[in-house]
A and B are shown apart, each in its own frame.
Chain A
Amino acid sequence: MATHTTMHVEVVTAERELYNGEADELIAPGTEGMLGILPRHAALLTTLKPGTLRIKLNGAEEPLFVSGGFLEVSNNQATVLADTAEHAEEIDQARAEEARRRAQERLAQTTSNTERAELQAALQRAIERLRVSDIVRRRRGPRIEMPQQEQ
Chain B
Amino acid sequence: MPSTRAIRGRIRSVKNIAQITKALQMVASSKMRRAQERVEQSRPYAEQLRELVSRLARVTGEDVGNLALLKQRPVRNIGYVLITPDRGMSGALSSNINRKAATSALDQQKTFAEQGTRPGVEYVAVGRKGRDFVMRNSFHLTAEFTNYGDRPSLIDASAIAQVATEAFLNESVDVVYMVYPKFINTVTQQPTVAQLLPVQPPGDDSNAGHETIEYIYEPDAASIFEALLPRYIDVQVYQALLETLASFYSAQMVAMKNASDNAKDLIQDLTLTYNKARQAAITTQILEVVSGANA
* Chain A nearest Cβ from B42, distance in angstroms: 6
Stretch at the interface among B105-113, B211-219, B265-273: B211-219
Q: When the two chains form their complex, are residues A43 and B214 in contact, meaning their CB atoms are under 8 A apart?
A: yes
Assembled-state Cα–Cα distance A123/B42 (Å): 28
Q: When the two chains form their complex, are residues B215 and A17 in contact, meaning their CB atoms are under 8 A apart?
A: no
Assembled-state Cα–Cα distance A30/B227 (Å): 14
Q: A45-B52, A70-B52, A70-B228 known; A14 and B46 CB under 8 Å? A: yes
Find chain B residues with CB under 8 A from A58 CB: none
Find chain B residues with CB under 8 A from A30 CB: 218
Assembled-state Cα–Cα distance A46/B224 (Å): 7
Q: When the two chains form their complex, are residues B227 and A44 in contact, meaning their CB atoms are under 8 A apart?
A: no
> Number of A-B pairs whose CB atoms are under 8 Å?
74
Assembled-state Cα–Cα distance A84/B46 (Å): 14
User: Is residue B193 within 8 Å, beta carbon to beta carbon, of the partner chain?
Assistant: no
* Chain B nearest Cβ from A101, distance in angstroms: 22
Q: A44-B215, A45-B215, A84-B154 known; A12 and B231 CB under 8 Å? A: no
Q: Residue B154 contacts which of A15, A17, A46, A47 (CB distance < 8 angstroms)?
A: A15
Q: Tell me which of A12, A44, A45, A47 has the highest count of chain B C-beta atoms within 10 A of its own C-beta.
A: A45
Q: When the two chains form their complex, are residues B49 and A15 in contact, meaning their CB atoms are under 8 A apart?
A: no
Assembled-state Cα–Cα distance A42/B214 (Å): 9
* Chain A nearest Cβ from B64, distance in angstroms: 16
User: Is residue B285 within 8 Å, beta carbon to beta carbon, of the partner chain?
Assistant: no
User: Is residue A124 within 8 Å, beta carbon to beta carbon, of the partner chain?
Assistant: no
Q: Which residue of chain B lies nearest to A84 when distances are taken between CB atoms in the complex?
A: B154
User: Is residue A83 within 8 Å, beta carbon to beta carbon, of the partner chain?
Assistant: yes
Interface string of A42-85 (1 = CB under 8 A from B): 11111100000000000000000000001010110001010110
Chain B contact-residue range equals 20 to 34
User: Is residue A13 within 8 Å, beta carbon to beta carbon, of the partner chain?
Assistant: yes
Q: Which residue of chain B lies nearest to A71 when distances are taken between CB atoms in the complex?
A: B218
* Chain B nearest Cβ from A80, distance in angstroms: 9
Q: When the two chains form their complex, are residues A43 and B216 in contact, meaning their CB atoms are under 8 A apart?
A: yes
Q: A81-B45, A81-B48, A84-B154 known; A45 and B231 CB under 8 Å? A: no
Find chain A residues with CB under 8 A from B2 CB: none
Q: Which residue of chain B lies nearest to A13 when distances are taken between CB atoms in the complex?
A: B45
Give the contacts of A2-60 with B (CB-CB under 8 A): 10, 12-17, 30-32, 42-47
Find chain B residues with CB under 8 A from A45 CB: 52, 56, 215-218, 221, 224
* Chain A nearest Cβ from B214, distance in angstroms: 6
Chain A contact-residue range equals 20 to 34
Q: When the two chains form their complex, are residues B44 and A70 in contact, meaning their CB atoms are under 8 A apart?
A: no
Q: When the two chains form their complex, are residues B218 and A47 in contact, meaning their CB atoms are under 8 A apart?
A: yes
* Chain B nearest Cβ from A150, distance in angstroms: 10
Find chain B residues with CB under 8 A from A14 CB: 42, 45-46, 154, 234-235, 238
Q: Residue A10 contacts which of B44, B56, B215, B223 (CB distance < 8 angstroms)?
A: B44
* Chain A nearest Cβ from B230, distance in angstroms: 11
User: Is residue B275 within 8 Å, beta carbon to beta carbon, of the partner chain?
Assistant: no
Q: Residue A17 contacts which of B38, B41, B216, B228 (CB distance < 8 angstroms)?
A: B41
Q: A14-B238, A15-B41, A45-B52 known; A70 and B224 CB under 8 Å? A: yes
Q: A14-B42, A17-B41 known; A83 and B231 CB under 8 Å? A: yes
Q: Which residue of chain B lies nearest to A82 when distances are taken between CB atoms in the complex?
A: B45
Assembled-state Cα–Cα distance A43/B221 (Å): 13
Beyond A14-B45, A17-B44, A17-B45: 8 further Cβ-contacts under 8 Å?
A10-B44, A13-B45, A14-B42, A31-B219, A43-B216, A45-B224, A46-B218, A46-B224
12 pairs, CB–CB < 8 Å, chain A vs chain B: A12-B45, A16-B41, A43-B213, A44-B217, A44-B218, A45-B217, A45-B221, A46-B217, A46-B224, A70-B227, A72-B48, A81-B231
